[in-house]
Amino acid sequence: MRNLLLTISFDGTAYHGWQVQENAVTVQQTLQDALERICSRRDNVVGCSRTDAGVHANMYCCNIRTESAIACDKLVGALNAVLPRDIAALGCREADFDFHARYDCKSKEYIYKIWNSPNKNPFLYNYSLHYKYPLDEKFLSAQAQAFVGTHSFDSFCAAGSSVESTQRTVFAAEVEREGDMVIFRVEADGFLYNMVRIMTGTLIDISRGKIPADSIDAIIQAKNRFAAGHTAPARGLFLNKIYY
């Protein structure tokens, strides 16, 4: 029995997130279907993270325990031959047998893309939020520093979520601009349901004056979802990097 660490990327537009669901097409199911075609058996695929419907991944890691003898480089090539065009295998390597893609993850980086232009871009609709009013990325980056540190992020978790602890450590948070694209980048040891999308919505609401500037500390302390801003749409969110 081998344990393989597989790295993929995917366009989440057509999928109801990563995890297998009844009556919904997911990335995990599609990947397991492809592996079954190649290896002639249905091995379980363990993902590094759940993702919402419509969320994308520049880098997503998973591990597969399998008795298949196919070489890692051959597996990558075979997967890319059978996977749909919106999922790509990037790499594969042998891992220790007890390696777990989720529990051994040290941190994850997400990015949220905002197309900040008076004019919409039809080619970016599925991969960014169009926001036509001016955004000051330096001001928003300064605001985002309040996210850094170990906090209980109840205010930045979707109402009704059930988790043992809402405490997470954010290592870095910044907002940068590349032309008309504004990018919110955040790295943490873990994320709550909708956490990055609510962070993004809060920064936008601060920019528009709906939430006062310099209030993120108070929002965190409130531990109340209603204290934070709106939830930004899923289509602008990318799981960007996984660190082990």
Q: pLDDT at position 163, please? A: 84
Check if 52 is active-site.
yes
Q: pLDDT at position 131, please? A: 98
Instruction: Write down the residue that tokens 């759940």 correspond to.
Output: 50
Question: Which tens digit of pLDDT belongs to each residue from 52-74?
Answer: 999 999 999 999 999 999 999 99
> In this structure, which amino acid lies at residue 169?
T
Phi, psi of 91 (to 5 degrees): -170, 165
| DSSP three-state, residue 4 | strand
Active-site residue, selected from the candidate residues 11, 43, 52, 180: 52
**Structure-token pair, residue 106:** 């040290």
CA distance 214 to 124: 31
CA distance 172 to 186: 6
Residue 181 · residue 115 · CB < 8 Å: yes
Reported pTM: 0.95
Question: Which tens digit of pLDDT belongs to each residue from 189-223?
Answer: 999 999 999 999 999 999 999 999 999 999 999 99
Q: What is the mean pLDDT of residues 101-107?
A: 97
Across the strands, what pairs with 177? 182
Q: What is the mean pLDDT of residues 159-180?
A: 92
Q: pLDDT at position 185, please? A: 98
Q: pLDDT at position 164, please? A: 85
Q: pLDDT at position 162, please? A: 74
Q: pLDDT at position 136, please? A: 98
Helix/strand/coil percent split, the chain, to 5: 30, 30, 40
* 22: Cβ contacts below 8 Å, ≥ 6 apart: none
Give me the percent of the chain exceeding a pLDDT of 90: 93
Q: pLDDT at position 159, please? A: 80
Question: Which tens digit of pLDDT belongs to each residue from 79-98?
Answer: 999 999 999 999 999 999 99
Residue 190 · residue 157 · CB < 8 Å: no
